[in-house]
Amino acid sequence: MQTQELIDPVCAYADHHRDSQESGLELYATGLAGLTILRSCQPTALEAVLYQPLFCLILQGAKETHLGMRRISFAAGESLIVSHQLPVTSRITEATESIPYVALVLELDMGIVRSLYEEVSEVEVEQEQARALNVGKTDKALLSAMGRLVDLIERPIEAKVILPLVQREIHFRLLLAQHGSMLRQLLRRGSHADRIAKAIARIRQNYANPITVAELAKVAGLSPSSFHEHFKVLTATTPLQYQKELRLLEARQFLMDGTHNVSSAAFEVGYESPTQFSREYSRKFGNSPRQDLAKYAQK
């Protein structure tokens, strides 16, 4: 199967569910667990987001993601595998009305990944290529599996039986992929990938509370210096900067949802000073929280 064969059914589904008022980046839930369709008829600005462990397959157009100082570009036929929760910035770089950007995004089920340990335990892990966010060419077997997943979108009765099988195959093929090396590392209990994942989970659970590197290092089972080094290699940031990124992203979501004003959003995510919050928010997103709150209120 080629990516071109997936574009027609994916776009047909998007067209059927498109809001006539919708513009810019279009997101469509498919009804299948974790699978989303993305489409855009124009390039987008850099946007700060938190990537969950995911698989992003580009069918048409191109995208660019920044992790720290690293810039990753990928286009049709290529895919992105993300093994850990990572604060990044990303943008669509190639998209037009006649040739829109089209992608499939599948959230990874780490339970399925871990259940495949026996099947892939003997596959070699290339340490120098193991990254928490990596791009590679999508092979035909993985494309075919994604085609079977797309076929189930409009077939709910068949999906009840076949979906778990297709999801397991996709996760298996991602573990075998050259750019799935970090996923394979995660399967190895006690690996640095596994240890850092535990620390990230602790930060996620307690992002609004004070936390120390020593505490996180203990969770990871590493010395503070070793933990700090491996955390930065994997996430391209420090543990405390990672926590700050989460706080700001969560605060922006509160403002977008209209559930908080600026001060309450600041306090909710752990800031003691709304002034400091506004300063760091503006530095990260380019707008002040009050500007964003007013903008989101108009939508």
Contacts of 295 by beta carbon, 8 Å cutoff, 6+ apart: 287
> What single-letter amino acid sits at 259?
T
Helices 156-176, 140-151: crossing angle, 10 deg rounding: 160
> How far is the C-alpha of 42 from the C-alpha of 95, rounded, in Å?
5
Tell me the CATH class for 3-186.
mainly beta
- Alpha-carbon distance of 247 to 257, in angstroms, equals 15
Q: Which among 44, 49, 8, 27 has a CA at the least distance from the CA of 284? A: 49
Helices and strands, number each (H, E), in the chain:
13, 10
Output the CATH code of domain 241-297. 1.10.10.60
Residue 182 and residue 193 in contact, taking contact as beta carbons nearer than 8 Å: yes
In terms of Cα–Cα distance, which of 201, 232, 206 is closest to 219?
Answer: 201
Q: Which string of b and e fits 188-215 if b means at least 16 CB within 10 Å?
A: eeebbbebbbebbebbeeebbeebebee
What does the domain layout of the chain look like in residue ranges? Answer: 3-186, 192-236, 241-297
Q: What is the C-alpha end-to-end distance of the chain, expressed in Å?
A: 40
Question: What order of strands is seen across the sheet that includes strand 26-29?
Answer: 26-29, 35-40, 101-107, 54-60, 78-82, 133-137
Show pLDDT as tens, one digit a residue, over the chain (299 residues).
678 889 999 999 998 888 765 667 899 999 998 999 999 999 999 999 999 999 999 999 999 999 988 999 999 999 999 999 999 999 999 999 999 999 999 999 999 998 998 887 776 655 545 688 999 999 999 999 999 999 999 999 999 999 999 999 999 999 999 898 888 888 888 888 999 999 999 999 999 999 999 999 999 999 999 999 999 999 999 999 999 999 999 999 999 988 899 999 999 999 999 999 999 999 999 999 999 988 887 76
| pTM to 2 decimal places | 0.91
